[in-house]
């Protein structure tokens, strides 16, 4: 009898354990592949440290309105009275005080700390929303192409190749202002929600291809296995074959792909905002803050330091956790 990959992973973990025959190890028999991966993940110090850091960032982003209430300063409030005649913050390190923990922005006098918190919230929302949409599109199209094959597989592969051939940056530079002009024209300030929605849509258009190819390859490798043939012979429909037989056996690479896509969207959002085609200046964003800080690198280096170190730590933690998650879900990993 042929086992599905999920059952095979669990059996391999049990057989590879030299103490599996002892009474203390008999409880391992009932562990699922997810539980075994969780145990490996907990033993990985890199995964634990990066996971704790990510939870901290997520809590900061979710609690942004509460932090604003406690902090007593909003992201759009300006403190022009705390700037000198040249628009530079008074005091040391860019105006760092007990009331303004990271100082003030030169020129406008907005509080850097609270804008960082809301910038973190914006980046995480865009990245997770885009990653979720692209993963859904990629999983559905890849599973259909891999399982059904034929003309549908050819069409989806053609669309995938066409999307990959398009230069993302050039298309984003042309598409984002065009959409904004189409809906807003020259009437005035673009709303923050609209700018966020446009970025998510642009990422969704270009970001699904890698997941689709990954899922298609995995499904092709599984569709001729005995457990799939048995389900097909029993009269199972397309939905049952995809969501009950195939996808539960390839959730691990999909999860790893999702975890590594999130930091890519974070850096992409910051890059587009940096060059002026992402979010507006009114919306807190790491990219816009870094762009504005370039004129004050010598006179106020703290302005570029805080958003720079924040986005570096966030992306670095996501990448470390994604690598650790990939090792934990791989039964052949030596870690």
Rg over alpha carbons for the chain, rounded to the nearest Å, is: 24
pLDDT in tens, the chain (335 residues): 455 555 555 555 545 555 444 444 444 456 666 777 788 888 888 889 999 999 999 999 999 999 999 988 888 888 888 777 777 888 777 778 888 888 888 888 888 899 999 999 999 999 999 999 999 999 999 999 988 888 999 999 999 999 888 888 888 888 887 787 777 666 556 677 888 888 899 899 888 999 999 999 988 888 888 887 888 888 778 888 888 888 888 888 888 889 889 999 999 988 888 887 777 778 888 888 888 888 888 888 888 888 889 999 999 999 999 888 888 887 665 55
Contact 8, 291 (CB under 8 A): no
Q: CATH: 3.90.1150.10, 3.40.30.10, 1.10.3720.10, 1.20.950.20. Which one for 56-77+115-334? A: 1.10.3720.10
Task: Supply the DSSP symbol for 4.
Answer: P
Q: How far apart are CA 324 and CA 314, in angstroms?
A: 16
Both tokens of 14, joined, read: 């049990």
Give me the residues paired with residue 104 across strands: 111
Q: How do the domains of the chain map onto residue ranges?
A: 56-77+115-334
What token pair was written down for 82? 């705390």
């Amino acid at each position: 009898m042929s086992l599905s990959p999920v059952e095979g992973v669990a059996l391999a973990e049990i057989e590879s354990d030299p103490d599996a025959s002892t009474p203390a190890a008999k409880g391992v028999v009932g562990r699922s592949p997810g539980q075994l991966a969780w145990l490996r993940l907990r033993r990985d110090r890199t995964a634990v440290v990066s996971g704790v850091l990510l939870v901290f960032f997520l809590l900061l982003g979710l609690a942004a309105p509460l932090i604003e209430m406690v902090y007593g300063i909003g992201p759009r409030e300006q403190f022009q009275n705390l700037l000198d005649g040249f628009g530079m913050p008074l005091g040391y390190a860019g105006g760092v005080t007990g009331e303004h923990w990271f100082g003030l922005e030169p020129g406008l006098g907005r509080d850097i700390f609270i804008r960082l918190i809301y910038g973190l919230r914006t980046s995480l929302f865009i990245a997770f929303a885009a990653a979720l949409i692209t993963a859904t599109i990629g999983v559905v199209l890849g599973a259909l192409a891999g399982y059904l094959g034929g003309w549908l597989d050819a069409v989806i592969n053609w669309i995938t190749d066409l999307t990959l051939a398009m230069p993302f940056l050039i298309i984003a530079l042309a598409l984002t202002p065009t959409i904004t002009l189409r809906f807003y024209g020259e009437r005035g300030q673009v709303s923050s929600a609209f700018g966020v929605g446009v970025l998510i849509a642009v990422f969704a258009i270009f970001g699904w291809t890698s997941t689709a190819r990954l899922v298609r390859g995995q499904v092709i490798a599984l569709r001729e296995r005995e457990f799939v043939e048995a389900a097909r012979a029993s009269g199972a429909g397309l939905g049952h074959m995809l969501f009950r037989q195939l996808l539960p056996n390839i959730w691990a690479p999909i999860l790893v792909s999702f975890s590594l896509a999130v930091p890519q969207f974070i850096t992409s959002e910051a890059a587009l905002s940096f060059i002026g085609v992402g979010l507006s200046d009114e919306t807190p964003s790491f990219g816009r803050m870094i762009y504005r800080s370039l004129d004050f690198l010598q006179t106020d280096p703290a302005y570029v330091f805080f958003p720079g170190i924040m986005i570096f730590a966030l992306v670095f933690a996501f990448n470390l956790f994604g690598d650790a998650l990939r090792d934990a879900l791989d039964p052949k990993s030596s870690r």
